[in-house]
Amino acid sequence: MSGTTLWWPTCAAVAWLAAGGAEGEEPIYDEARVPPYTLPDPLQLANGSRVRDAETWDNERRPELLKLFETHVYGRSPAPPAWVPFDVVESSADALGGLATRKQIVFDPTGHRGHLEVDMLLYLPNAAHGPVPVFLALNFEGNACICDDPTIRLPRSWMREGNGVVDHRATEALRGVETRHWQVEQVLSRGYGIATIYYGDIDPDFDDGFQNGIHPFFYRAGQTAPEADEWGSIGAWAYGLSRALDVLEHDPKVDAKRVAVLGHSRLGKTALWAGAQDERFALVISNNSGCGGAALSRRCFGETVGRINRAFPHWFCDNFSEYNENEAALPVDQHELIALIAPRPVYVASAEEDKWADPRGEFLAALGADPVYRLLGTDGLPAREMPAVNEPVHGTIGYHIRSGGHEVAPYDWEQYLAFADRHLQR
């Protein structure tokens, strides 16, 4: 995740606002301008009664909330296939100077070999004795970007250049451009594996009418686009992460019950939605995910529902646009998305300069999920007030706001590894 890639998700929206935006108004960056709001209670059932035990949460409230997010925000995704075809196309036990075993795997998330080729890069630490926990994350510029390894396959699918949409193939210049933001050798030296997939292999990140990625393989006869309550690109990327976990379950050197799903920016939104839907993910990490991710929609701070839907109409289901400048009508808010991950550990990270992503709104969403985590017997979030910059809090819900801007920084990885040591290491 180089400076170029990490900045274009935010800069695209900022450029759109500079052109006037739909509202012709500047975004809210002043707490005094945040509108009054009331958050929906994650522990109140649709019939008005309150959840008081884990059984009611698991069997009634959790399915209710999941359905609401499917219908109104991310869209329904297809059922998982019975089998995900995959091939290990390259393997080396002497990668990165002998530190790791590298595997390059091609799989088809549709469940039908030959429909869609997705490349997954997997590094496993050679010093490990037995199956290891793994960090799984999508990337913005192809698998070769995460470290300086000349053998990694370059993407063959759609790619973005700057803020414009183009169709070109990756070049050698992308190798290792995101090394600082992935910390691969540090992750491996701490006893974890790391797996990554270029998100464009699953679905291209522009409004193409859902014709060039995974969606057409699931259309009914005569269907040409998802229905209003069916998956957008975030749903598709999350679906791809779950299919990657299907593949990892077949590797004897991977402990598939200890896989952490991680994402930054739009891919942080994706990681949260993947973790909410797929309870096999043992730990979920959101890095600067903002609106539609960890930040509360009702605060209307920085990026709003209306702004994100107009700038990126392909990310969410069409129903989500009903809440443009109408956040109070949403039947859910993002603290309930985080609550859907309970009781599994979840980490929400913000950056001091990333006002667009609303750091306070991200903290408040984590705090809003705390009652569910405590109901289910965990310590939840060990803070009632937003912590100071660079002073992380680690419970079953973790949170930090660090100095700096919109990126995955080495400081973030230090916290994620410490959090994973607490929750994933035996």
> Among all residues, which ones are annotated catalytic?
265, 406
Q: Are 85 and 117 in contact (CB under 8 A)?
A: no
C-alpha to C-alpha distance for 406 and 137, rounded to whole angstroms:
17
C-alpha to C-alpha distance for 161 and 149, rounded to whole angstroms:
22
Torsion sign across C-alpha atoms 28, 32, 34, 35: negative
C-alpha to C-alpha distance for 327 and 101, rounded to whole angstroms:
47
Give me the residue label for tokens 């006893």: 191
SS3 call for 317: coil
Q: Where are the beta strands (DSSP E) in 273-324?
A: 283-287
Peptide bond into 331 cis (omega under 30): no
> How many CA atoms are closer than 13 Å to the CA of 282, on its beta-carbon side?
19
> How far is residue 392 CA from its own chain's centroid?
20
Q: Are 344 and 284 in contact (CB under 8 A)?
A: yes
Show the CA angle centred on residue 371, arms to residues 365 and 374, nearest 5°.
125
Residue 82: other Cβ atoms inside 10 A: 6
C-alpha to C-alpha distance for 270 and 294, rounded to whole angstroms:
10
Beta-ladder partners of 238: none
Q: Are 407 and 6 in contact (CB under 8 A)?
A: yes
* Dihedral, CA of residue 182, residue 392, residue 425 and residue 414, to nearest 10: 30
C-alpha to C-alpha distance for 163 and 143, rounded to whole angstroms:
20
SS3 call for 302: coil
SS3 call for 297: helix
Least Cα distance to 300 among 234, 355, 337 occurs for: 355
